[in-house]
Structure 1
Amino acid sequence: MSDPRPTSSATASGPRGLPLIGSTLSFARDPLALLESNAEYGDVVRYEAFGRDLVAFYDPDHVEQVLVSRSDEFWRGEFEHEFSDVIDVEGVLFAEGEEWKRQRLMLQSAFTPDQIRSYADAMVEETVRAIDGWTDGEVVDLEEELSALTLTVLARSLFDLELDEDRGARVRRWVHAMSEYTAREVFGAGALVPGWVPSRTARRFEHATADVRSLVEQLVAERRASGADGDDLLTLLSTGEYPDGTRPSSDEIGDQLMTFLLAGHETTATALTYACWLLAGDDESRERLESELEIVCGDRDPTMADLPELAVTEAIGREAMRLYPPLPFLHREPHEETSIGGYRISPGTTVQLPMYAIHRDERWWDDPDEFRPDRWLEGEGADLPLVADPDDRPEYAYFPFGGGPRHCIGMRFAMTELQLTLATLARRVDLERVTDSIETDVGITLDPGLVEMRVRTK
Structure 2
Amino acid sequence: MSEIRTTGDDREPTTDAESDTGPTRAAVGTPPPGPRGLPLVDSTLAFARDPLEFLASMREYGDVARYEAFGREFVVVSDPGLVEEVTVARDGEFWRGEFEHEFSDLLDVEGLFFAEGERWRQQRMLLQNAFTPARIESYADDMVEETGRLVDNWSDGEVIDVRESMSALTLRALTRTLFDLEFETERADRVRRWVHAMGAYSDSEFFGTRAVLPTWLPSRAEREYRRATADIESLVEDLVAERRGSDAEGNDLLSLLATGEYPDGSQPTAEEITDQLQLFLLAGHETTATALTYACWLLTGDDADDFRARLEREVDAVCGDRDPTFTDLPDLTITEAIGREAMRLYPPLPFLQREPHEETALAGYRIGPETTVQLNMYGIHRDGRWWSEPDAFRPDRWLADDENGRSVVADPDDRPEYAYFPFGGGSRHCIGMRFAMTELKLSLAMLVRRVDFERVTESIDPTPKVSLDPGPVEMRVRKR
Q: TM-score, normalised by structure 1?
A: 0.97
Q: Which of 310, 314, 331 is matched with 2:332 structurally? A: 310
Report the Cα distance in structure 2 between the residues aligned to 1:299 and 1:9, rounded to whole angstroms: 64
Once the two structures are TM-superposed, the CA of residue 379 in structure 1 deviates from its matched residue by 6.0
Q: Does 1:342 align with 2:368?
A: no
Q: Which residue of 2 aligns with 1:408?
A: 430
- 1:47 aligns to 2:70 (yes or no): no
SS in 2 for 1:378: strand
% of aligned pairs identical? Answer: 67
Q: For 1:116-131, what aligned pairs fall within 5 Å after superposition?
A: 116-131=136-151
Residues 50, 295 of structure 1: alpha-carbon distance in 2 compared, 3 angstrom cutoff: same
Aligned 8 A contact 1:6 1:340 in 2: no
Is 1:13 aligned to 2:36, yes or no? no
Give, in whole Å, the separation in 2 of the partners of 1:227 and 1:253. Answer: 19
Question: Match of 2:167?
Answer: 147
- How far is the alpha carbon of 1:10 from its aligned partner? 2.4
State the distance in 2 between where 1:210 and 1:155 align.
Answer: 19
Change (3 A) 1:308 1:426: same
Q: Distance in 2 between matches of 1:237 and 1:81?
A: 23
Determine helix, strand or coil for the equivalent of 2:231.
Answer: helix
Equivalent residue number for residue 280 of structure 1:
300
Of residues 405, 408, 415, the one that matches 1:385 is 408
Q: What amino acid does structure 2 have at the position aligned with 1:245?
A: G
Distance in 2 (alpha carbons) for counterparts of 1:171 and 1:427: 29
Aligned equivalent of 1:194: 214
Does residue 396 (structure 1) correspond to residue 426 (structure 2)? The answer is no
Distance 1:383 1:33 in 2: 40
Counterpart CA distance in 1 for 2:164 and 2:134 is: 30
The one-letter code sitting in structure 1 at the alignment partner of 2:390 is: P
Query: After alignment, is 257-266 or 13-22 more displaced?
Result: 13-22
Determine if the alignment matches structure 1 residue 351 to structure 2 residue 386.
no
Counterpart CA distance in 2 for 1:288 and 1:22 is 49
Root-mean-square deviation (CA, aligned residues, Å) is 1.4
What corresponds to 2:240 in structure 1?
220
Name the residue aligned to 1:168: 188
**1:57 partnered with 2:80:** no
- SS of the aligned residue for 1:170 comes to helix
For the residues of structure 2 that align with 1:239 and 1:23, how far apart are their CA atoms?
Answer: 47
Q: Distance in 2 between matches of 1:177 and 1:392?
A: 43
Partner Cα separation in structure 1 for residue 423 and residue 142 of structure 2: 23
CA distance in 2, matches of 1:396, 1:386: 17
Q: Tell whether 2:114 aligns with 1:94.
A: yes
Q: CA deviation at 1:218?
A: 0.7
State the alpha-carbon separation in 2 of the partners of residues 334 and 275 from structure 1.
35
SS of structure 1 residue aligned to 2:384: coil
Helix, strand or coil for the counterpart of 1:455?
Answer: strand
1:438 to 442, 450, 460: 460
Question: Are the aligned partners of 1:60 and 1:394 in contact in 2 as well (CA < 8 Å)?
Answer: yes
SS of equivalent to 1:326: coil
- Tell me the residue number matched to 1:326: 348
Q: CA deviation at 1:7?
A: 7.7
User: Corresponding residue for 1:36?
Assistant: 56
Specify whether residues 383 and 167 from structure 1 end up closer, same or farther in structure 2 by C-alpha distance, changes over 3 A only.
Answer: farther
| Aligned equivalents of 1:227, 1:91: Cα separation in 2 | 27
**Contact 2:27–2:365 (Cα < 8 Å) also in 1:** no
Indicate the SS of the match to 1:265.
helix
Contact (CA 8 Å) 1:315, 1:386: kept in 2 or not? yes
1:26 to 46, 49, 55: 46
Is residue 297 of structure 1 aligned with residue 319 of structure 2?
yes
Query: Could you tell me how far apart the structure 1 residues matched to 2:158 and 2:281 are?
Result: 29
TM-aligned CA deviation for residue 160 of structure 1 = 0.4
Query: Cα deviations across residues 190-231 of structure 1 (Å, max 9, x unaligned)?
Result: 211222110111111111111101110111111111122111
Aligned partner of residue 409 in structure 2, secondary structure: coil
2:200 matches 1:177? no
Looking at structure 2, the residues matched to 290 and 202 of structure 1 have their Cα atoms a distance apart, in angstroms, of 45
Instruction: For 2:397 and 2:70, locate their aligned partners in 1 and report how far apart those are by CA, in whole Å.
Output: 37
Q: In 1, distance between residues paired with 2:184 and 2:243?
A: 15
**DSSP-derived class of the 1:385 partner:** strand
Q: Quick one: distance in 2 between partners of 1:189 and 1:284?
A: 43
1:134 aligns with 2:157: no
Q: What is the TM-score with the length of structure 2 in the denominator?
A: 0.92
- Name the CA distance, whole Å, in 2 between partners of 1:194 and 1:319: 41
Aligned partner of residue 339 in structure 1, secondary structure: strand
Q: Please give the residue correspondences for 1:73-92 in structure 2 after superposition, counting only pairs within 5 Å.
A: 73-92=93-112
Q: Distance in 2 between matches of 1:216 and 1:237?
A: 11
Deviating beyond 6 angstroms after TM superposition, the runs of 4 or more aligned structure 1 residues are: none
- Provide the residue aligned with 1:245 in structure 2: 265
Specify every segment of 5 or more residues in structure 2 that has no aligned partner in the other structure, as ranges.
Answer: 1-24
CA distance in 2, matches of 1:143, 1:12: 39
Structure 2 distance, partners of 1:366, 1:379, is 20
CA contact (8 A) 1:292 1:383 kept: no
Q: CA deviation at 1:6?
A: 9.5
Q: Distance in 1 between matches of 2:105 and 2:31?
A: 31
C-alpha displacement of 1:383: 5.7
Change in Cα spacing, 1:378 to 1:126, as seen in structure 2 (3 Å) is same
**TM-fit CA distance, 1:9:** 2.8
Q: Is the 8 A contact 1:139 1:452 kept in 2?
A: yes
Q: Which runs of 5+ in 1 are unaligned?
A: none
- Is the 8 Å Cα contact of residues 279 and 285 (structure 1) preserved in structure 2? yes
Partner letter of residue 242 of structure 1? Y
